[in-house]
Structure 1
Amino acid sequence: MDIERRERAAHFVELHREGCFLVPNAWEAGSARILEEVGAADSWSAAPTCG
C-alpha cells in the first residue's frame, strides 16, 4: 500500500472513531418488524423531523 493510500485510510478511521451512528433501513417486512420492536424509526419517517 502506498503512503498516500495509508494516510487516506488512517484519516477515514479517525473520522469514524467516535460519534458514529447507525441509520436503520429495513428492506422487507420481517426486518421492519424487528426494527420496530427495538424502537428504531426508519429513515423515511424520521426525515421530516430532521428538516
Structure 2
Amino acid sequence: MNIILALIPVSLVLLGLAVAAFFWAVDDAQYDDLDTPALAPLVDDDAAARTDGSARR
C-alpha cells in the first residue's frame, strides 16, 4: 500500500513531463509538415541534381 503513495506522485510528474514535451513540440512547429519527410526517401537525388544545373559530368 505504501508503494501507491510513491507511484502516484511519480506518475503525475511523468504525465506533466509528457504534456510539457507535447506542447513544446507543437510550439516548436514539429507537426507543421507531416507529408514531406515521409516522401523524402522516394526522391531521386540524381534527378534533383540535374534540375538545379549542377549535374556531374
- Give the TM interval when normalised to the shorter protein: 0.3 to 0.5
The structure having more radius of gyration, on CA atoms, is: 2
Highest RCO, 1 vs 2 (Cα 8 Å, sep ≥ 6): 1
More helix by share: 2
Q: What TM-score comes out, normalization by structure 1 length?
A: 0.38
